[in-house]
Amino acid sequence: MFKNPKILLFDLAVLVVLIDQFIKYFVIEKIPTTGIFLVNQTWLQLKIELLYNPYIAFGIKLNLWLVYIFIIILLSVLMILFFQAIKKNLLLQAIPLLVITSAAFSNLIDRVVHGGVVDYLSISVLNYNWPLFNLADTLIVLGAIALIINETRKPICEN
C-alpha cells in the first residue's frame, strides 16, 4: 500500500527540482524585465525580478571553474552524508540533506543551462535590500536550519 521510504525520498528530490525549475521557467518566460511588485510599501517591498547570478552564495565572486569545483565537492559530500543517514535509518537527518542536495542540484542545472543561477525574489525592508534569491536558496537555508536543530537536540553523551 505505501511506497518504500527510499522511493518516497527519491520522489521528494525530484519534486523539489521540478517545482524549483518550473518557477524559474515561469519567471524567465512570463515576468516582465522591469519585474512586478507583490508588496510595495515604504517600509517593505517584495518584488519578483529576474537575475542570472553567476556567483555563489550572497554574490561571492569566484572564478567559474572554482564555482563548479566547489559545487561538485559540496554535492558529493551532501550525497555521502545523505546515504550514511539512510543506511543508519536517520530520516530526520536524511530528509534535510536530501532537500539541500536537490535544491543545490537545481541551482547547478541553472548554471549549466543559463550560465548562472536564476534568482527572482527581491526583498527590501526599511531600505535594506537583501540579495536576490530563489526557492532553491530558501530550501537550502531551511534544510541547514533543520540539520542544526536536529544536531542540537541530540544528547551530548550517549551511553
Positions marked active-site = 119, 137
What's the rounded Cα separation, in Å, for the pair 25 and 107? Answer: 13
> H or E element: which one contains 14?
helix 5-30
What's the rounded Cα separation, in Å, for the pair 7 and 15? Answer: 12
Q: Which three cell numbers stand for residue 109?
A: 542545472
Q: Strand 44-53: give its sheet, edge to edge.
A: 36-40, 44-53, 117-125, 128-129
Judged by DSSP in three states, 102 sits in helix
